[in-house]
Structure 1
Amino acid sequence: MLMRSPTQSLTEQLSTRFAERIRTRLLAPGARLPSVRQCASQHGVSPSTVVAAYDQLLAQGLVEARKNRGFFVREAGGRPDAPVPARDESGVVEGWSTAHWWAARTVARGAPPVNATALIRGMFHRISDKPQPGMGVFPAEWLESSFMPAAVRKVTSTRVLQDCSLQYGEPLGDSHLRRVLSQKLASLNVQAAPTQIITTVGATHALDIISRTLLRPGDPVMVEEPGWAVEFARLAALGMRILPVPRRADGPDLDVMARYCEEHRPKLYVSVSVFHNPTGHCLTPGSAHRVLQLAHRHDFHVVEDDTYSHIAPEHATRMTALDGLQRTLYVSGFAKILAPNWRIGFLAAPPALVEQLLDTKLLATLTTPALLEKALALCIEQGQLRRHAERIRTRLDAARARSIKLALAAGCQFAAEPAGLFGWVDTGVDTDALAQRMLDEGYLLAPGALFHAERRPSTLMRINFATTQDAGFWRVYQRVRSQVR
């Protein structure tokens, strides 16, 4: 609640609170502010105070007023007055495919489909010391270990430290790490020689290298929806045409993919096959086979983002294993399971593409830091990473069981069978509005709108099973949800 102060009026306090959230991207571009009546009730002030606060935000250029709709956070660089084709209730414009409509919307508004930096900044902006249900990573205390510092000490206590510090590393990445990664991939039935592996500055960098190598501005790219907000925005920022493919329990909607192939000749399909974010779904062999058939028939590449491989069963279906790295490229990293700040990722590619991909890496980063790559190689080779991942999986299984019980008791329904790190939860209320109210309680949510190419109201939200075991969070959630209703 706002408190009267001799130095700052209630209007100034309220506008300052919203302005800070907008500037730190806790309120993303396009997000709707509470109605005047709702905001007044929530903060214990008069409607006139809210109107004055919103007027201040308007004057600062942080929000825009839309007639008969309310106040919305402005999209930087956007042109809200630009014409955008209207859609009917089914989401279809006569004579327009989804891809046509989306391309027009992106051009008209001059902005990426989802402001991914809002999600990134929000996920890592500590708004309180409480466990954050919207986080996309394991809690730091889960990742603590003694073997990582020991591995670093080992590689820095010899001549290696000086050698690695005074010269650039190998262009493809540390040869020892690539040999170890080749063996690790073989355990997943992905056959990739060390010469087919390129180390990167995290998995996102690997995805970026692939996009910049295989695509040109304007190329159509199929991406799963709901999906990773960063991927939507990253591709849009590169000027690609995003073709959202609905993700089902067994895999992508193959009928939609087939239509895209006939109408738009996409160049790439990006997929999280195992423990899909945010649904937790895993690809079935039948769906994987049909996707690969489409890729060969219509001449596009498949990028398999296996970010969650460390907590997934080894027998899970991976398209790269079925395809043998012909039309597929494999991407993974170690930020989620081991050391976020080491920023070590990698990609495995068909031999014919390796030199092109390497050129792109060299133009962007020259090489990657060899010291940490050597330390990681030791952690993998000595079995420490495997044992660490087993401990994380056991802990996550227990956390998931507790979180599921609490979520169901709080009146939530799971829109997908709970699995992996994330739960895809139906709250029954607008989660954009819910997320704003929960910020005041010190909790950061991940509303469903962030996981769609076209930001629209959603009753879904993604929860992190590792950070939603606290019954206190669910009590606050129930109280705030009843207020939002």
Structure 2
Amino acid sequence: MLMKTGSQSLTEQLSARFAERIRSRLLAPGARLPSVRQCAQQQGVSVSTVVAAYDQLLAQGLVVAHKNRGFFVRDASFNAASAPAPQAPAAIKGVADSANPDAPSAWSTATWMAARQAPVDATALIRGMFHKVSNKPQPGMGVFPPEWLDTSFMPAAVRKVTSGSALRDFSLSYGEPMGDSGLRRALSQKLSVLNVHAGPEQIITSVGATHALDIVSRTLLRAGDCVMVEEPGWAVEFARLDALGMRILPVPRRADGPDLEVMARYCEAHAPKLFVSVSVFHNPTGYCLSPGSAHRVLQLANQHNFHIVEDDTYSHLAPDHATRLSALDGLQRTIYVSGFAKILAPGWRVGFMAAPPDLVQRLLDTKLLGTLTTPALLEKALAWCIDQGQLRRHAERIRTRLDAARARSVKLALAHGCSFAAEPAGLFGWVDTGVDTDALAQRMLDEGYLIAPGALFHAVRTPTTLMRINFATTQEAAFWKVFARLRDAML
């Protein structure tokens, strides 16, 4: 809470608090600040103190004021005041309405521009990984706590592959363009357990799974191309495709898979070039694809000539028999992407893609233009971890620990008046709070908690009562007590 001191007035403290959040992008361009009265009530200060603090932010050029609307974080690249209100929710509803076959016409330029008015952009969560809001467990984070990933075999793997003259040899050469051959062989064997059959010559390593997704996008797409993406979906993917100039077509994600009727309408109206999907432990819902839906998606891909990127980032947490598009398709129209940052070594940044033979060289060219090669030392160390069975045993321990954490977190969420919009599974829970989670997120920041409001997971931001929680970081009753107190104050 703000406290009057000799060195800083309440006005200066409040202004500095908002300024720090804006500069660190925990409040992103377009974000609306609380109303003067709301802020005064939340911070326990007078209305005049808030007015003076907002005036300081205006003077610093960090916010803009819109008559009868409030104060907004300034975006130097886009004039939020002149933009029309986003129309996407109605457009999406129209696409999903089977009685309205003409609905999926192209969104207007104004609507696409308005889609950029996200009050909190995807980078807020990423920056939160590096700019800690407090030492408390963070429910909005998309990763396991560091103590869960601490192992003894990873340092041993590095020592193993750098013994003798190996370190010198690694350092004085670029390594193999497609990635370490030993790692690609190990990945080929690992994928075969999932019934994804890809030879080492079809596998290209990358600097994490996100880099692999970026390589695919830059290879197959050009600015203005239409891309189907599941909604709700991974906030970073929406932001990344938007930054590349793609036209995002949000496909509602259901328990058994994407809304096939919406996909079919998009295919007829927009001829999309790509579909991005998380088949197993979908983020943020935890849904897993059914075989029937998978077959229909592949039929649409063949009929309408688009590729599918299957992001299997959470494969290490899922059963081997889970339905994967790449297994059913045999890597004909699918490109399989995964990595090891979530389960093993975030700092190693090792990811990969398995692709159809006719796309391998094009994807490799894009990789070479962006990064030349990837670090051979870490790839060889990872190959050793896989070959020795260390990764498999580590993943089993993580799954057991996550199951226990999920049970505790679900019990606490239900006890504090929440419900689940999807059956709890995997790392994330899709929780209905009963209040606007955008507004709740700002209140939670004051208490040292960064949450992931549900609007982040939509192509065009609209108010929602949902939020995504990380089961590994929401096991403490202290968080849920703060959450319930602030939530109740908003009801």
- Quickly name the TM-score band, shorter chain normalised: over 0.9
What does residue range 219-234 of structure 1 map to in structure 2 within 5 Å? 219-234=225-240
Q: Determine whether 1:390 maps to 2:405.
A: no
| Stretch deviating more after TM superposition (9-18 or 372-381) | 9-18
Secondary structure class of the residue paired with 1:463: strand
What does residue range 226-245 of structure 1 map to in structure 2 within 5 Å? 226-245=232-251
For 1:359 and 1:172, how far apart are their aligned partners in 2? 10
- CA 1:448/1:246 → structure 2, altered by over 3 Å: closer, same or farther? same
How far did residue 398 of structure 1 move?
0.3
Q: Determine whether 1:163 maps to 2:160.
A: no
Q: Structure 1: state its 5+ residue gaps.
A: none
CA contact (8 A) 1:278 1:422 kept: yes
What does residue range 55-454 of structure 1 map to in structure 2 within 5 Å? 55-84=55-84, 87=87, 90=90, 97=103, 100-101=106-107, 103-107=109-113, 115-454=121-460
For 2:208 and 2:243, how far apart are their aligned partners in 1? 19
Tell me the amino acid that sits aligned with residue 471 of structure 2: F
Secondary structure class of the residue paired with 1:221: strand
Tell me the amino acid that sits aligned with residue 484 of structure 1: M
How far did residue 449 of structure 1 move?
1.1
Tell me the amino acid that sits aligned with residue 455 of structure 1: R
How far did residue 402 of structure 1 move?
0.5
TM-score by length of 2: 0.95
Q: CA RMSD in A?
A: 1.9
For 2:204 and 2:343, how far apart are their aligned partners in 1? 20
CA contact (8 A) 1:251 1:273 kept: yes
- CA 1:401/1:41 → structure 2, altered by over 3 Å: closer, same or farther? same
CA contact (8 A) 1:103 1:242 kept: no
How far did residue 60 of structure 1 move?
2.1
Tell me the amino acid that sits aligned with residue 58 of structure 1: L
CA contact (8 A) 2:91 2:107 kept: no
Deviation per CA, 1:219-278, whole angstroms, max 9, x where unpaired? 000011111111001111111111011111111011110000000000000001100000
- 1:456 pairs with one of 448, 462, 466: 462
CA contact (8 A) 1:82 1:109 kept: no
Tell me the amino acid that sits aligned with residue 266 of structure 2: Y
- 2:481 pairs with one of 470, 475, 481: 475
How far did residue 26 of structure 1 move?
1.3
For 2:108 and 2:447, how far apart are their aligned partners in 1? 35
Deviation per CA, 1:187-242, whole angstroms, max 9, x where unpaired? 00000000000000000000000000000110000011111111001111111111
Tell me the amino acid that sits aligned with residue 218 of structure 1: G
Q: Share of identical aligned residues, percent?
A: 77
Secondary structure class of the residue paired with 2:2: coil
CA contact (8 A) 1:114 1:229 kept: no
- CA 1:117/1:228 → structure 2, altered by over 3 Å: closer, same or farther? same
How far did residue 366 of structure 1 move?
0.5
| Stretch deviating more after TM superposition (95-104 or 365-374) | 95-104
- CA 1:122/1:100 → structure 2, altered by over 3 Å: closer, same or farther? farther
Secondary structure class of the residue paired with 1:278: coil
Aligned partner of 1:50 in structure 2 is 50
Deviation per CA, 1:300-352, whole angstroms, max 9, x where unpaired? 00000000000001010000000000000000000000000000000000000
Deviation per CA, 1:45-81, whole angstroms, max 9, x where unpaired? 1111111211222222222223333222233411224
For 1:79 and 1:4, how far apart are their aligned partners in 2? 36
TM-score by length of 1: 0.96
Deviation per CA, 1:10-47, whole angstroms, max 9, x where unpaired? 11111111110111111122322112111111111111
For 1:30 and 1:409, how far apart are their aligned partners in 2? 35
Tell me the amino acid that sits aligned with residue 54 of structure 2: Y
Secondary structure class of the residue paired with 1:245: strand
Q: Determine whether 1:25 maps to 2:25.
A: yes
- CA 1:103/1:266 → structure 2, altered by over 3 Å: closer, same or farther? farther
For 1:54 and 1:277, how far apart are their aligned partners in 2? 36
For 2:250 and 2:239, how far apart are their aligned partners in 1? 12
For 2:128 and 2:332, how far apart are their aligned partners in 1? 38
Tell me the amino acid that sits aligned with residue 271 of structure 2: R
- CA 1:75/1:97 → structure 2, altered by over 3 Å: closer, same or farther? farther
Aligned partner of 2:13 in structure 1 is 13
For 2:226 and 2:433, how far apart are their aligned partners in 1? 34
Secondary structure class of the residue paired with 1:101: coil
| Stretch deviating more after TM superposition (76-85 or 11-20) | 76-85
Tell me the amino acid that sits aligned with residue 49 of structure 2: T
How far did residue 116 of structure 1 move?
2.2
Deviation per CA, 1:444-467, whole angstroms, max 9, x where unpaired? 111111111111211110000001
Secondary structure class of the residue paired with 1:246: strand
For 2:132 and 2:53, how far apart are their aligned partners in 1? 25
| Stretch deviating more after TM superposition (68-77 or 369-378) | 68-77
For 1:13 and 1:114, how far apart are their aligned partners in 2? 22
- CA 1:274/1:223 → structure 2, altered by over 3 Å: closer, same or farther? same
How many aligned positions are there?
485
Aligned partner of 2:97 in structure 1 is none
Tell me the amino acid that sits aligned with residue 3 of structure 1: M
Secondary structure class of the residue paired with 2:148: helix
CA contact (8 A) 1:80 1:109 kept: no
Secondary structure class of the residue paired with 1:338: coil
Q: Structure 2: state its 5+ residue gaps.
A: 95-99
Secondary structure class of the residue paired with 1:270: strand
